[in-house]
Amino acid sequence: MKELIVASRNKGKVKEIIELLSDLPFKVTSLLDYPQIPDIIEDGKTYRENALKKARFVALATGKMAMADDSGIEVAALGNAPGIYSARFAGKGAGDAARNKKLFALLKGVPGSKRQARYRCVIALVDCKAQELGVVQGTCSGYVTTKNIGTNGFGFDPLFLLKRYNKTFGQLPASLKAKISHRARALKKFRILLSRHKRALL
């Protein structure tokens, strides 16, 4: 069985991706299985640039096909920031709690109706020679709450409210998030991308 490496060490992201791709005819691994590969500097100006850089780096390092997800939260009141800097905007090494706290601080005094936000996920796929096979994306719109609500998920999930359900991603069951999230929508397109190249990849 051919291997597909997820170019990430984010445990929450890796777990989510592997679960959503568990039925594919590939052995899905991640950088958690390759501790010898150094951290990849994400210095691109777009999600696409970062995703492709990560996927190509891993493919060149291993000689195996790779996929990379670059994602973030875009808050309208902040000019769509933090965007591609979502994982780093509270400083290097900062965890989810610090990032969420900073986002709350930046939105202090902003009324609920003005707290629109959007999660965006961009996924790149490259072959074992690091040649680009395609890039897809998915989005999910909601609002930023004024406090963390719920303990499910990771990252900004406890503050990302979906009005349709009147719950945050931190409250929704994983089974529902796996159908409606930005990553789930991107991975649905990713499956189509894989099927187009299935003969060459298997």
State how far the alpha carbon of 8 is from the alpha carbons of 38, 74, 80, 145, 170, in Å.
Answer: 11, 21, 24, 28, 22
- Statement: residue 93 has pLDDT above 90: no
Query: Is 70 assigned a catalytic role?
Result: yes
Catalytic pick from 23, 33, 43, 70? 70
- For residue 11, which amino acid is it? K
Quick one: CA torsion of 6, 74, 120, 67, rounded to 10 degrees? -20
Computed over every residue of the chain, the mean pLDDT equals 95
What band does 1 get if pLDDT is binned at 50, 70 and 90? confident
- Statement: residue 200 has pLDDT above 80: no
| pTM summary value | 0.95
| Spans of all domains in the chain | 3-201
Q: What are phi and psi of 88, to 5 degrees?
A: -120, 0
Q: Which CATH number fits domain 3-201: 3.90.1150.10, 3.20.20.70, 3.40.50.1100, 3.90.950.10?
A: 3.90.950.10
As a whole-number percent, the residues of the chain with pLDDT over 90 amount to 93
- Statement: residue 92 has pLDDT above 90: no
DSSP states of 9-74 = --HHHHHHHHHHTTTSSSEEEEGGG-TTSPPPP---SSHHHHHHHHHHHHHHHHSSEEEEEEEEEE
Find out whether 188 and 169 touch, Cβ atoms under 8 Å: no
What band does 51 get if pLDDT is binned at 50, 70 and 90? very high
Q: What is the pLDDT of residue 124?
A: 98
Q: What is the mean pLDDT of residues 71-78?
A: 98
Q: What is the mean pLDDT of residues 78-87?
A: 97
What band does 196 get if pLDDT is binned at 50, 70 and 90? confident
Q: What is the mean pLDDT of residues 126-146?
A: 97
Q: What is the pLDDT of residue 202?
A: 64
